[in-house]
Chain A
Amino acid sequence: EPEVTQTPSHQVTQMGQEVILRCVPISNHLYFYWYRQILGQKVEFLVSFYNNEISEKSEIFDDQFSVERPDGSNFTLKIRSTKLEDSAMYFCASGKRAQETQYFGPGTRLLVL
Chain B
Amino acid sequence: GENVEQHPSTLSVQEGDSAVIKCTYSDSASNYFPWYKQELGKGPQLIIDIRSNVGEKKDQRIAVTLNKTAKHFSLHITETQPEDSAVYFCAAMGRSNYKLTFGKGTLLTVNP
Contact = CB atoms under 8 A, between A and B. Distances in A.
Contacts, number: 57
Contacts of A107: 42-43
A100 B36 CA distance: 14
Contacts of B93: 99
A13 to B, nearest CB: 21
Given A101-B34, A101-B46, A41 B104 contact: yes
B98 A98 contact: yes
Contacts of B41: 106
A104 B99 contact: no
Contacts of A105: 43
A43 interface: yes
Contacts of B43: 4, 6, 91, 104-107
B45 interface: yes
A82 interface: no
Q: How large is the interface on B (under 10, 10 to 19, 20 to 34, 35 or more residues)?
A: 20 to 34
A42 B104 contact: yes
A102 interface: yes
Nearest to B36: A104
A33 B44 contact: no
B104 A102 contact: no
B102 interface: yes
Contacts of B100: 35, 43, 45, 102
Interface in A31-63: 31, 33, 35, 41-45, 48, 50, 55-56, 58
A43 B44 contact: yes
Interface string B20-53: 0000000000011010100001111110010000
Interface in A46-91: 48, 50, 55-56, 58, 91
Contacts of A102: 34, 46, 100
Interface in B78-112: 89, 91, 93, 96-105
A6 B42 CA distance: 11
Interface of B: 31-32, 34, 36, 41-46, 49, 89, 91, 93, 96-105
